[in-house]
Amino acid sequence: MQELNRRIIYSFALIVFVISFGTAGYMVVEQWNWLDSFYMTIITLTTVGFREVHDLSRNGIILTIILVIGGAGTMLYALSTGAKFVLEGELQEIFGRKRLEKKLRELKGHYIVCGYGRMGKIIARELKHEELKFVVIEKDEVFADPDERDEYLIIQGDATKDELLKRVGIEKAKCLISALPTDAENLYVVLSARGLNPGLLIVARAGEEGSEQKLLRAGADRVVSPYHIGGLRIAHTVLKPAVVDFIEFATKSGNLDLQIEEITILEGTRLVGLSLDQCGIGRELGIIVVAIKKRGGEMQFNPIYSSVIEAEDTLIALGEATKLKTLEDMAAGK
């Protein structure tokens, strides 16, 4: 944008200089008044073919030749700059930036993903699959696929800066995920985000051992260590391959045969006050409730058929994707 402004200003300055040079030249050489001199300069530069205001002297003819050659070059440069401005998409870029700012202002209850590396791309893909609103912040230039550029809101900038977090609507956001390369950057993001939105759900990535507690003290609600989880997964793949295969099968995105989901029961829905047997989750939908997370955080694993569902309980359910969608609608009162 700065380079574009520089070229436009430079072109405008050249045009003003050429017009001023021609006007002053005719006033000195031909002794014309400024209006006749200015008019002669304009019709010369625009090559409209009008007759001279007065007969030209020999020096006036030479001045006109210089003005035509120099002015033509200046006008060509100005036109090429304007053509480049339009043809190379710079005009579209300006309008695209305005559309982007409008989208950012309209965001509410969205997710903010800080970092678009290998982990950030997976997170963005999963959020997109769940049809959730989100915006991605990446410090370096993003080399995204064409589909990602069209579908994702990707902002280039430093996520540790309060100004950028405010720009992406952190005050109205639902959750922030910090997946930056270093623990120091993630710590800065967590501190800034917690200060700007005390009620925000914050999930942070931890790389080095011992960083989890620092991130939690800084304000993160959850801390995930990819290396720790990756190490456990490799060990379990060797020791418990069937269990790992089942978990991967149940949590794989787009799997229509089997999914594991968490479903929150809203206040006032018809499921509140019923037992698992009475609401027919297993009998009619074929869904297995693996656990129930109570409002206070208590987790009930393998609940019995007489377990009563209460408002704001979260069901950890296993079943077909279509049946789980039906249970979600029931839990939301639809």
The pLDDT value recorded for residue 193 is 94
**Nearest by Cα to 326 from 280, 277, 278, 272:** 280
Q: What is the DSSP letter of 305?
A: T
The pLDDT value recorded for residue 244 is 76
Q: Are 167 and 141 in contact (CB under 8 A)?
A: no
**Nearest by Cα to 284 from 294, 292, 274, 299:** 274
Is the pLDDT reported for residue 54 higher than 90? no
Q: What is the pLDDT of residues 94-103, one digit of tens each?
A: 666 777 788 8
**Any idea which of 31-40, 96-105, 182-191 has the lowest mean pLDDT?**
96-105
Residues 6+ apart with CB under 8 A from 306: 275, 276, 277
- The band of 144, judged by pLDDT with boundaries at 50, 70 and 90, is low
End-to-end CA, the chain? 49
Q: Are 172 and 110 in contact (CB under 8 A)?
A: yes
Rounded CA-CA distance 132/109 in Å is 9
Rounded CA-CA distance 90/270 in Å is 55
171 CB-contact burial (10 Å; exposed 0-12 / middle 13-18 / buried 19+): exposed
- The band of 202, judged by pLDDT with boundaries at 50, 70 and 90, is very high
Could you give the domains of the chain?
Answer: 2-87 (1.10.287.70), 108-230 (3.40.50.720), 254-331 (3.30.70.1450)
Rounded CA-CA distance 99/33 in Å is 50
- Strand pairing category for 259-264 and 288-293: unpaired
The pLDDT value recorded for residue 149 is 59
The residue written with tokens 């007065």 in the block is: 54
Helix residue ranges per DSSP H, the chain: 2-29, 34-46, 58-87, 90-106, 118-129, 146-151, 162-167, 183-196, 211-218, 226-239, 241-251, 276-279, 281-285, 321-331
Chain-centroid distance, C-alpha 316: 31
**Any idea which of 68-72, 81-85, 208-212, 252-256 has the lowest mean pLDDT?**
252-256
Give this prediction's pTM.
0.61
Q: Which residues of 102-127 are buried (b: 16+ CB within 10 A; e: fewer)?
A: eeeeebeebbbbbbbeebbbebbeeb
